[in-house]
Structure 1
């Protein structure tokens, strides 16, 4: 009996180790997505933007959002910056999504006038289900004289509707400002803005040389009293 108990214990231990190794070799889609997102920005910054009113669409079956879209007029929804006020308008923006992957939830992003006249994500991921999605990106923003820079987390949520996007909400948050003091909003500060007319139409992104200028205020620019 004693030998039998020892044998059962050893078999149980082998099964536990085998399952553990199997999980590492074959991670679930959710595990892959979670790691992808955590490599882009810490959860605390996602939580901050969610508290400011950004909808985060979770899930591992996002719609295909490849294409280019105009996000205008872009209006401030909420902010944790004292000098900001809801309803403030920002420079019209556009975004292009491409190379979306259903295997590792990667996607590439190129934008105009979210942070600067040209924004390119360093790392990006997408989550969602049905027609709802959220794109997570990390972007390096450089000052005009190229002397300072900061890293921003960007989240863009919405609903794919045919060739357009609807109900787009966009958030930016400074996640690393040690080389950007005095130029950018402070680390941990963020803004959430939305497309006021609720429809972000499909555009020929490469043909856009300039966008309609409202106040020439970018989402990442430092606020002035």
Structure 2
């Protein structure tokens, strides 16, 4: 009888341990690749989310290869002290995404205007379903001023283009004694004003691009 009681007690104890273990909160799976986490600090990511920048996390992004035009390219959230107010329309933004690698979660980004070409910028992609975000770290130079910036594009890929397209750029470092660049941490959040960055077949010089800084005097390169 004593042995039976002892065995029952042990069995109950084991059941309780297993039950408690199963109830433990599991460590959440990462929703951004290690490479994205390395170029976008969590504090910066959270700050952008608070300001209204959509960030589509996940490790199974859709294929987003193609050429897209954001028009009207409309300021949604100005930075503090921004000379432009919400609703200001910038020149159309033309983008080409290519060479997407599902294993590396990487993609190439090209932008073009009548005066500026940014080619073969390497970015990293996150997302799930049809929604995605692309993150690229760039080195920039304007005269003697230098810096690093993070560029982010977000949206939902459709057969017509990118639904709910958003774009932002944030300086993370700069050596800028004459204040050529916007301040570290400052960000304009810009969206497609009609809700769709349309898909197109032509990546040509006919559309001017006005990014968040004056790209006509800035050389950009992948860091």
Output the TM-score relative to the length of structure 1: 0.73
Gapped regions of structure 1 (runs ≥ 5): 1-29
Poorly superposed stretches of 4+, deviation over 6 Å: none
Say if 1:121 and 1:49 are closer, same or farther in 2 by CA, change over 3 A: farther
1:141 alignment counterpart: 140
For the pair shown, the structure with the greater C-alpha radius of gyration is 2
Which residue of structure 2 aligns with residue 160 of structure 1?
157
What does the per-residue CA deviation read over 1:26-61, in whole Å, with 9 as the maximum and x for residues that have no partner? Answer: xxxx65943110232222222222122111111111
Q: Aligned-pair distance for 1:200?
A: 1.2
User: What is the aligned partner in structure 1 of residue 116 from structure 2?
Assistant: 117
CA gap 1:77/1:105 in 2 versus in 1, 3 angstroms? same
Deviations 1:93-139 (Å, cap 9, x if unpaired)? 111111111112111111236xx823347541111111111111112
Q: Distance in 2 between matches of 1:159 and 1:62?
A: 10
Higher strand fraction (1 or 2): 2
Residues 37, 49 of structure 1: alpha-carbon distance in 2 compared, 3 angstrom cutoff: same
Q: CA RMSD in A?
A: 2.5
Q: Residues of 1 paired with 2:135 and 2:93: CA distance?
A: 17
Partner of residue 211, structure 1: 207
Deviations 1:148-206 (A, max 9, x none): 33221111110110151111011111111124752110111111000001111122343
Give the equivalent residue in structure 1 for 2:194: 197
Instruction: Please state whether the residue corresponding to 2:95 is helix, strand or coil.
Output: strand
Q: Say whether 1:35 aligns with 2:34.
A: yes
Counterpart residue number, 1:47: 46
Which TM-score applies when normalising by structure 2? 0.73
State whether structure 2 residue 185 is matched by structure 1 residue 188.
yes
